[in-house]
Amino acid sequence: MDDWWGILWVLPSILAVMVFVYGFIIWTARVSLSAWKGLTPDYTYVGAQNFVNLASDRRFHIDIKNTIIFTLVFVIGCLLIGLGLAILLDKGIRAEGFYRSLFLFPMAISFIVTGVVWRWLMNPSTAEDRLSGLNLLFHNLHLDFLINSWYATPTWGIAAVAIGAVWQMSGYTMALYLAGLRAVPETLREAARVDGASEFQIYTRVIMPLLWPVTLAAVIILGHSSLKVFDLIIAMVGKQIALDVPSIYMWTTTFDGFFFGRGAAIGMVLLVSVAVLVIPYLWYSLRQESEG
Amino acid sequence: MTAQTGIHQSRKWVYIPLTMMALFYLLPMFVMLNTGFKSFAEVSLATMWKLPTSLSIENFQLAWEILAPNIWNSFRIVIPAATISSFLGSINGYVLSKWKFRGANIVFPLLLFGMFIPYQSVLIPLTQVMAWIGLGGSTWGLIMVHVIYGIPITTLIFRNYFAAIPDTLVEAAKVDGAGIWQTYRYILLPISIPAFVVVYIWQFTAAWNDFLFAVLLTSQDNWPVTVALNNMAGSQIIAWNVQMAGSFLAAVPTLLIYIFLGRFFLRGMMSGSLKE
């Protein structure tokens, strides 16, 4: 009896998620196996043709290259800055709350807002008389060797976009690490000190190994969001082939070009990549939770 | 050198890198405001880093004229979305923690996975269904989408909140003859206000900052501010100083929430990592 009331209460949500998440994924999978091109749905079965085409699609190759560069710069940047800031804030300084709030505020702002600002900050002009944004700041600070063409740099331009993403998400990584550091019992550090370990050794030998679960969680959350990045790139650089990623290719080919079959195939590739990262993590987190 | 002076010295030294990083985080905000407050006459890319000689609100006035209808649209979308999401999440979290039915442990992870999916894998069916039920282009369609794709995170936050409340409280109510509704209405709902604040703020911020769903599902009249701002930034006609002022206006509501209710926002953020 109790069971039925409970199920009845959550039924609307369960149904909504079943339809809008799982039903739609199956639907997209079906579209990805179809010849649908143009405005009228066409479910003619073509097997894996759309996926085969993607494998030899030059634009999709650029997308994969960009995703790899973006993910590396973004994840490594966030981990290093996040861990560094967390260690500094864990020193027990008085203004900790102030700095912590400051490092986290980008999380509250839309990628569209920050993207528009970064677009101007990373103005790619390197000619001496037309410098602006960060290049101009570097010039004023006599750091001319840092002047570069940012997102207009061939091959590596996407790394500049990743810097904008690091700015947005490194505070979040700091919060994860800070929570992890706070969970390390003070007695462990004391014991290491008594044994003659230096402050540096305490971090490398005692604390870092204990932070592995945090690092793993951060890598999965950051890694999966770098596969999904869309807004930031659109706002910073628009839809340029050189700075394309799968999420934008899916969008343009589907809703601007009406290649629904190909768009669905890209959507499925993205989904599988995210699932490979997230499902083991979900399973691990929930199992750990039920073990208490 | 004793251990104590070592720690003491390192503490002071800590402020140098912290302050440098603080400047890095404030850089975009500085540029937005510094440019926003300059008069049209004073704005030039070459003097981007110079402070304004006098404060002018011309840029903000012009940006407001362009974006005001969209900021209003954002509120029209975000407030109902966050409100409905909060109640749905509350009910789901309650049942999944305190009124567990057989299979609840399978349902919960299936719900949670919905929070991580790349939305590109559902966009095609979504546009088809929206057009079919006649909600394409409207704000109600977008509200519905925010509510549905918000179910995983809102359920998670409430479930964790209720899970920390002793089961004996619910058991006692059951013994007294309270049903599922009375137990919720008179016992759990009143003590879950903090969770409501966390979820409401989280959904408000997420929906306010959304771009992907909005650009796909709303017609130009119903564009929220993110879509309008991106459009403004892509146009050649609107000067960059007005874009900077507009960016700031679009960020104000969520920034205010962060400044005044930051700790609730952070709690929502941390639950997204499945870590408490």
Binning pLDDT at 50, 70 and 90, where does residue A169 land?
Answer: very high
pTM over 0.95: no
CB contact under 8 A, B211 and A110: yes
Higher pLDDT, B207 or A5: B207
Lowest mean pLDDT of A266-275, B93-102, B264-273, name the range: B264-273
**B256 in Cβ contact with B205 (< 8 Å):** no
Q: What is the 3-state secondary structure (H, E, C) of chain B?
A: CCHHHHHHHHHHHHHHHHHHHHHHHHHHHHHHHHHHCCCCCCCCHHHCCCCCCCCCCHHHHHHHHHHHHHHHHHHHHHHHHHHHHHHHHHHHHHHHHHCCCCCHHHHHHHHHHCCCCCHHHCHHHHHHHHHHCCCCECHHHHHHHHHHHHHHHHHHHHHHHHHCCCHHHHHHHHHCCCCHHHHHHHHHHHHCHHHHHHHHHHHHHHHHHCCHHHHHHECHHHCCHHHHHHHHHHCCCCCHHHHHHHHHHHHHHHHHHHHHHHHHHHHHHHHCCCCC
A7-49, pLDDT tens digit by residue? 888 999 999 999 999 999 999 999 999 999 999 999 999 999 9
Q: Is the pLDDT of residue A276 over 80?
A: yes
Q: Is the pLDDT of residue B2 over 80?
A: no
CB contact under 8 A, B118 and A271: yes
In this predicted structure, what is the pLDDT of residue A1?
A: 57
Residue A140 Cα, gap to closest chain B Cα (Å): 9
Token pair belonging to A282: 């979900």
Q: Is the pLDDT of residue A160 over 70?
A: yes
Separation between Cα atoms, residue A150 and residue B213, nearest integer Å: 29
Q: What is the CA radius of gyration of chain A?
A: 23
In this predicted structure, what is the pLDDT of residue B274?
A: 67
pLDDT mean over B61-82: 97
Q: Complex ipTM, two decimals?
A: 0.93
Put simply, the chain A residues between 163 and 222 with a CB less than 8 A from any chain B CB are 167, 171-172, 175-176, 179, 193, 199, 214, 217-218, 221
Q: Is the pLDDT of residue B237 over 90?
A: no
Q: Which residues of B touch A3 (CB under 8 A)?
A: 101-102
Mean pLDDT of chain B: 90
CB contact under 8 A, B149 and A136: no
**For B235, which residue in chain A has the nearest alpha carbon?**
A238
In this predicted structure, what is the pLDDT of residue A111?
A: 96
**A176 in Cβ contact with B275 (< 8 Å):** yes
Q: Which residues of A touch B226 (CB under 8 A)?
A: 110, 112-113, 231
Q: Which residues of B touch A253 (CB under 8 A)?
A: none
Q: Is the pLDDT of residue B1 over 50?
A: no
Q: Is the pLDDT of residue B206 over 70?
A: yes
Best of B100, B119, B124, B175 to disrupt the A interface (most A CBs within 10 Å) is B124
With left for phi above 0 and alpha for psi between -120 and 50, is residue B43 left, alpha or beta?
Answer: beta
Q: Is the pLDDT of residue B9 over 60?
A: no
In this predicted structure, what is the pLDDT of residue B275?
A: 57
Residue B104 Cα, gap to closest chain A Cα (Å): 9
Q: Is the pLDDT of residue B178 over 70?
A: yes
In this predicted structure, what is the pLDDT of residue B3?
A: 45
In this predicted structure, what is the pLDDT of residue A2?
A: 65
**For B252, which residue in chain A has the nearest alpha carbon?**
A109
**Percent with pLDDT over 70 in chain A:** 99
The closest CB to that of A179, out of B100, B272, B275, belongs to B275
Q: Is the pLDDT of residue A210 over 70?
A: yes
Higher pLDDT, B217 or A198: B217
Separation between Cα atoms, residue B117 and residue B125, nearest integer Å: 15
CB contact under 8 A, B95 and A9: yes
The closest CB to that of A136, out of B48, B91, B250, belongs to B48
**For B117, which residue in chain A has the nearest alpha carbon?**
A271
In this predicted structure, what is the pLDDT of residue A292?
A: 55
Q: Is the pLDDT of residue B4 over 80?
A: no
CB pairs under 8 A between A and B: 273
The closest CB to that of B114, out of A21, A106, A112, belongs to A21
Mean pLDDT of chain A: 93
Token pair belonging to A109: 């702002």
**Percent with pLDDT over 70 in chain B:** 95
Q: Is the pLDDT of residue A73 over 50?
A: yes
**Percent with pLDDT over 90 in chain B:** 67
CB contact under 8 A, B117 and A104: no
In this predicted structure, what is the pLDDT of residue B10?
A: 56
Residue A95 Cα, gap to closest chain B Cα (Å): 9
Q: Which residues of A touch B121 (CB under 8 A)?
A: 24-25, 28, 267-268, 270-271
The closest CB to that of B25, out of A27, A167, A224, belongs to A167
Higher pLDDT, A188 or B275: A188
Q: Is the pLDDT of residue A239 over 70?
A: yes
A251-274, pLDDT tens digit by residue? 999 999 999 999 999 999 999 999
CB contact under 8 A, B25 and A103: yes
Residue B206 Cα, gap to closest chain A Cα (Å): 8
Q: Is the pLDDT of residue A91 over 90?
A: no
**Percent with pLDDT over 90 in chain A:** 78
